[in-house]
Structures are given as structure tokens and as C-alpha cells.
Amino acid sequence: MHLNKLNLLRSMLQIRRFEEKLEQLSRETEKIYGMMIVSTGQEAVASGVGAVLDPADVIISNHRSHGHLLAKGADPKLIMAEIFGKATGYNKGKSGTLHIAAPEVNVLCTTTVVGGGIPIAVGTAFASHYKQQKNVTVCFFGDGASDEGSFHEALNLASLWNLPVIFACENNVYSGAQRVEEHSKVKNFADRAIAYGMPGIVVDGNNVLEVYQSAMKAKERCLSGEGPTLIEYKTYRWGGHSTHDQQSYQPQEEIELWKKLCPIEQLKATLIKEGVLGQEQYQQMENEIKQAVEEAVKFADESPWPQPEDAMEDIYI
């Protein structure tokens, strides 16, 4: 697969602007309800991993899912409409922001049960293995999820059966209001891989090129039948857990420090230095992305609400 660095930049920028818009709509309007859980500062993980995936590859995501969806090629209009609760959304307005599934692009599940997606990913990877399909599953989850029992059982089984799954742990330093040191004694969650007989690697999650390389290697391992890899992406969420969180527990200096490590600014600087990107071209990219986000909002806003008689459709009872 050919690495297109400009596409990586575009992908991260798309996630950043899309989620900024969500935060703005949530705070300043009544168009969307409930809290928004965004990934500002962490975009390199979704974009770098997403770039190695083919349409047939599967993503299982968690509550911080918009970036994963966009990086897999989900339509911003259909995501936005879903978040607005409209009938045109990916799940006809029934999932809202937190449970979007986009089977069209093989994002089969986003679950807010912390750690709940990890065994599901082992299930989809088992299905690929059983059907002898040449695809992989990526499971995104947080540092907090790595402390759940489901993580340990899932990794053990995936390794035992050499399943084609990439466990992508986004260590963003916090699980809710708890710092990592308050919920785990290990320095690196990736070290836990040794207990299950699979490689565990630590990667700078703000360096999208390193994220890309690590995911590519893990994917190749999956496809050669050698089994799963646990990758810990060290990153940071600039905002609180959600738009309802005042983030009083996050030291201002820490936030500022990580903002200097902005994944978008890092890649932008590299591309300008390499002569691949000019200021004008960057501005054009910005404009296109902002316009696409505005179009998604317009689409969602003008879309119809679901009908009351549809409430019992598409559900398991």
C-alpha cells in the first residue's frame, strides 16, 4: 500500500474540524443533545491506523469513535445526521453519537461499555479466520479499558488461535478523571502482551507516520497467519472526558505541553520542510474540509426526524 502523507494530513484535519463543530453545536445550539466525546489531540491514531485498512477490514470502536469512523471512510453527512438524531443517519437516529455502527464501511460496532468491544473484535477476527477471508479487525480502546477483565480474556484467546486482530490501545493518560497511575501499576500497557504470547509495542501516538508503520506491520503479521499484536499509542486528550467535563483534574501545563505535540502541526511542519506542502495548498485543504463539515451540518439539519411508528424497527426484542 502506497503511503500518501497528504492524505494522512487531510484525514487528521477532517477529524479535528468535524469534532470542533460538534463541540460548538453542543455548547451553542440545541441542534444536538447530550454530551460530545471527542478525540482532539489524538487524531493521529485513527488516521494512521485507518490509512492501512482496506474496505474489507473491520473496526470495532468505543465511545470516542468519530475519528475511527471518519478514518475508515464513513460519510460525514451520515455521521452528523446520526448525531442529530435524524432518520437519514447511519442508524436512523437510534444510536446518536455514542453507538454508531456503519456496516457499509465495516465499522461494525461502537460500544460504550468500556472494554466491551475487545471480545467482540476477537469474534469478528474469528469469523474472518473461519471463513478464510483475507481481512483484519482493528479494535480501538483506551487505557482504562486495558484494566477490564474482558481485555485479558480476549487477548489470550486471540493469541491462542492466531486471530487477525490488531489491539489498538489509545493511552490518552486519563480514564474519566483518573490518571493512568491511579488505575494501573504498569508503565506500559503494551507490556501486558507478553502474558499472552503476542508482540506488544509502544508507539508515539502523536506521530502519524509512526502510527501508520506500526499498524502496517501488525496488519502484515495478521495476514501472514501469525496472529494479533497489541499496540499502545501514547497520546493525550486535550479536552475533558466529554463536553460536560470541566477537566479540573488536568494540569494546565500538561495540556499546554501536549498541545505543542499536536499531531497535525507535526506532520504539517514535516511536509512543508520536505517541500510536499505549501501554505496555499494547506489553506485549500482547510477550506475544503470546513466546507464539507458545513455541508454535513446542513444535511443533518434539513433531514427528517424518525417517525414514532419506526421506534420498534431495527431492534432486537
The footprint of ligand TPP (CB under 6 A) covers 63-64, 112-114, 142-145, 172, 174-176, 241
Which span sits near Mg ion by CB under 5 A: 48-56, 84-92, 150-158, 168-176?
A: 168-176
- Judged by CB under 5 A, the chain residues 125 through 164 that form the site for Mg ion are 142-143
Q: Which segments within the chain are labelled E, that is strand?
A: 58-61, 107-110, 137-142, 165-171, 174-175, 178-179, 200-204, 229-234
Q: How many residues bind Mg ion (CB under 5 A)?
A: 4
- Is the separation of the CB atoms in 83 and 32 below 8 Å? yes
Q: Which of 172, 229, 235, 303 binds Mg ion (CB under 5 A)?
A: 172
Note every long-range contact of 112-116, with CB atoms under 8 Å and residues 24 or more positions apart, other chains counting. 112/62, 112/63, 114/62, 114/63, 114/141, 114/142, 114/144, 114/145, 114/148, 114/175, 115/141, 115/144, 115/145, 115/146, 115/147, 115/148, 115/149, 115/150, 115/151, 116/150
Comparing CB distances to ligand TPP, the nearer of 98 and 277 is 98
Cell of 89: 443517519
Q: Which residue's Cβ lies closest to Mg ion?
A: 142
Residue nearest to ligand TPP (CB): 142
Is-contact 136 165, C-beta < 8 A?
yes
Q: Which is nearer to Mg ion, 61 or 159 (CB)?
A: 61
* Residue 180 C-beta: closest distance to ligand TPP, Å: 8
Least distance from ligand TPP to the Cβ atom of residue 38, Å: 10
Residue 232 binding partner per list Mg ion, ligand TPP, none, with a CB distance cut-off of 5 to 8 Å that depends on partner kind? none
When CB distances are held under 5 to 8 angstroms depending on the partner's kind, the choice from ligand TPP, Mg ion, none that residue 89 binds is none
- Is residue 65 close enough to count as binding Mg ion by CB under 5 A? no
Based on the shown chain and the rule CB under 5 A, indicate whether residue 228 belongs to the binding site for Mg ion: no
In angstroms, give the least distance from the CB of 317 to Mg ion: 34
**Nearest approach, Cβ of residue 142 and Mg ion (Å):** 4
Angstrom distance (rounded) from CA 262 to CA 16: 11
Host H or E run for residue 12: helix 5-28
Among 225, 43, 205, 204, residue whose Cα is nearest residue 128: 225
For the bound state, the minimum distance from the C-beta of residue 260 to ligand TPP, rounded and expressed in Å, comes to: 21
| Site residues (vs Mg ion, CB under 5 A) | 142-143, 172, 175
